[in-house]
Structure 1
Amino acid sequence: MKNNFRSPHLFWWLIIPGGIGLIFLLGHYPNVIPFQYLGGFGASSSWFALKNHILLLVVFWSIVIAHGYEAIIARRICQKLNLDQKSTLLWMIQTFILGFPSLKKLKGQKHRYE
């Protein structure tokens, strides 16, 4: 069976998980981040973690919920395209991690195989 899985550019794999990881650490474990070695970014991140702790938690969990919903949408699109289980699982995992760039790539697949 033909492999129907495509991955977005490496740029998205670096930016999105890195940003989500940073928001997670700032909201849940700010004491593990060495702010003093990060210059201006560290000072502003430290201030943001101290002053806006609840906002960081809300943003993080909103991202998780949104990416979960996008993964469900990816599953529905894969079902409409009659993709095999392996491809569907890969699309769902990738969409949960990356969100919109993966979903956009999957919708491009839709136009190609209809």
Structure 2
Amino acid sequence: MVKRDRVGLDRNYFVLPHPFWILALGISIPFILVTAFFPGQLPPSFGVVKTASNYVYDNFPYITWLTAVAIIGAHTLESLLTIKLCCDAGMTTAATLKWTISTFLFGFTSVLLRLRPYLQKAKRSQF
């Protein structure tokens, strides 16, 4: 079977997630990871948030650890899915690397909200 080039597909296509997601996930994921693995590293200026984080860590350490491991695992699996999607679409190595890193950092907001609709649109325009 001959694979046709997709009409309208830019092989270098890359778009960051919406700035809301970059800010929200860029703050919350590192916070969860620090709380799970290095709770003493939170600065005193966090006040009530530091107190609550320490309480959760002291009373439910396995839950905080499992949450952090689940986040890392989910983002890793999403990144692998992104590599497959980019390879199936025939995207360049640079674009694939950008999408993979973006998906690892920002999760589904990168691959499902930005890349997948673009690939579906390009696939529809193929015929």
TM-score normalised by L of structure 2: 0.81
Q: Are 2:90 and 1:109 aligned?
A: no
Q: Following the alignment from structure 1 to structure 2, what is the Cα–Cα distance between the partners of residues 102 and 19?
A: 16
* Greater RCO structure (CA 8 Å; 6+ sep): 2
Segments ≥4 residues shifted beyond 2 Å: 37-43
Q: Following the alignment from structure 1 to structure 2, what is the Cα–Cα distance between the partners of residues 24 and 63?
A: 9
Q: Are 2:40 and 1:41 aligned?
A: no
1:27–1:57 Cα contact (<8 Å) kept: yes
Paired residues, number: 113
Q: Following the alignment from structure 1 to structure 2, what is the Cα–Cα distance between the partners of residues 102 and 84?
A: 17
Shift of 1:43: 2.5
* Unaligned runs of at least 5 residues, structure 1: none
1:81–1:113 Cα contact (<8 Å) kept: no
Shift of 1:12: 1.1
* Counterpart in the other structure of 2:29: 20
Of 68, 71, 81, 2:79 maps to 71
**Which whole-Å deviations, capped at 9, do the CAs of 1:25-49 have from their partners, x for residues lacking one?**
11111111135x3343332222112
Query: Looking at CA atoms only, which structure, 1 or 2, has the larger radius of gyration?
Result: 2
Identity %: 25
1:71–1:96 Cα contact (<8 Å) kept: yes
TM-score normalised by L of structure 1: 0.89
CA RMSD of aligned residues (A): 1.6
Shift of 1:2: 5.6
Q: Which has the higher helix share?
A: 1
1:70–1:95 Cα contact (<8 Å) kept: yes
